[in-house]
A and B are shown apart, each in its own frame.
Chain A
Amino acid sequence: MGTGQDPELLRRLLRAKDRMDAASDEEWPVRRLASVSGVSEAHFARSFKDAFGVPPHRYLLTRRIERAKTLLRDTDLPVTEVAFDTGWSSLGTFGRVFRDITGESPGELRGRERAAPHARDHVPACYLSAAHRPDLTIAVSEKRRRVAGPRIPANETTETEV
């Protein structure tokens, strides 16, 4: 740790992070985030990075890509729709950032997930779903049956959900 940041400031920065989590498809210019946190625009990005390890813009991209990965895995939405649903206005940018963060293209990820269905055992990505795993909705249960993968205990679910 040792960032030495004031907990009261951290709490307000967390609010900006929460807001991005809740609506990662929206635009989050520094001005908007700074105002959520009650921090000056000049200090926001640095304070956020000190607190959470990544600059706010990078954090937002990561959240969008996480959501996109989930949609690619769990739905049949075309890649274009996944891109637009997760906040990208350009398919090209989506593909580039996706590859940058995950190391593969959206299509490759989807293909790989389908070819190796056991890999999807760590989704749906949410401690909520993990807590209620035995009671998943029909659609997901069907997928799960089809996959016939082993259940994982809740505490092995690593991703957090918005």
Chain B
Amino acid sequence: MQGVEVVGLYVRDQDEALAFYVGKLGFRVHTDVKNGDYRWLTVQHPDQPSFQLGLFYPGAPMLDSATAETLRALVAKGAMPPLVLTVDDCRAAYAKMNAHGVEFTQEPVDRFGTVDAGFRDPSGNGWKMIQARRRAGGAE
């Protein structure tokens, strides 16, 4: 199969991110390998075995300290690109995640023919959580 295999996020702390994505969102660890100071950590949605979400710390040895500091500030300011999580039932997912202490930035709202909510990971990465449409179309 060809396609995108890994897309990474910058996170402020990989242990914290792991606890969040696995413990609160229900992802699974795909790869967690250390090589010196560098840690390659990816998680996977249980329904999406062909895709890995990387949880990477911006720092040495990949980045110089000034660049790393800039990136950590950008992540903390919520300036990283949008992320979208598709769920079958947005309100049910919201209730469950909220009970786990996920920081929601927007409660579920009906609009555009579906339901969406917004949350952030501990680092500041912003997610939209959108309820999948019942109608199977070419839009996905």
Give the distance in Å from the alpha carbon of A132 to the alpha carbon of B137 in the complex. 11
Per the 8 Å Cβ criterion, residues 53-103 of B in contact with A are 70, 72-78, 82, 84, 103
Per the 8 Å Cβ criterion, residues 32-77 of A in contact with B are 51-52
Cross-chain pair count, CB within 8 angstroms: 78
**With known contacts A22-B105, A131-B84, A162-B106, A14–B70 Cβ distance under 8 A:** no
Where chain A touches its partner, the secondary structure class is helix
Q: CB distance A137 to B77 under 8 Å?
A: no
Closest to B110 in A: A137
B82 partner residues in chain A, CB cutoff 8 A: 127, 160
Binds A, one of B1-9, B43-51, B123-131: B123-131
Closest to B120 in A: A18
B139 at the interface (CB under 8 A from A): yes
A110 at the interface (CB under 8 A from B): no
B113 at the interface (CB under 8 A from A): yes
A128 at the interface (CB under 8 A from B): yes
Q: CB distance A14 to B130 under 8 Å?
A: no
Give the distance in Å from the alpha carbon of A132 to the alpha carbon of B128 in the complex. 12
A135 partner residues in chain B, CB cutoff 8 A: 112-114, 133, 135, 137, 139
A105 at the interface (CB under 8 A from B): no
Q: In the complex, which of the residues B82, B128, B135, B137 has the most CB atoms of chain A within 10 Å of its own CB atom?
A: B82
Binds B, one of A1-9, A81-89, A92-100: A1-9
Closest to A124 in B: B112
Q: CB distance B114 to A132 under 8 Å?
A: yes
Give the distance in Å from the alpha carbon of A138 to the alpha carbon of B103 in the complex. 32
A136 at the interface (CB under 8 A from B): yes
Give the distance in Å from the alpha carbon of A78 to the alpha carbon of B122 in the complex. 41
- A residues contacting the other copy or chain, number (CB 8 A): 31
A10 at the interface (CB under 8 A from B): yes
Q: CB distance A7 to B12 under 8 Å?
A: yes
Q: CB distance B106 to A10 under 8 Å?
A: no
B78 partner residues in chain A, CB cutoff 8 A: 14, 17-18
B138 at the interface (CB under 8 A from A): yes
Contact surface of B with A, Cβ cutoff 8 Å: 12, 70, 72-78, 82, 84, 103, 105-107, 111-114, 116, 120, 123-124, 128, 130, 133, 135, 137-139
Q: Given known contacts A131-B128, A135-B113, what 19 new A-B pairs fall within 8 Å (CB)?
A: A7-B72, A7-B73, A8-B76, A10-B77, A11-B76, A14-B76, A14-B77, A14-B124, A15-B103, A18-B120, A22-B105, A128-B116, A128-B130, A131-B84, A131-B130, A132-B113, A132-B130, A135-B114, A137-B113
A-B contact pairs, 7 of them (CB 8 A): A7-B76, A18-B78, A127-B84, A129-B111, A132-B130, A135-B112, A135-B114
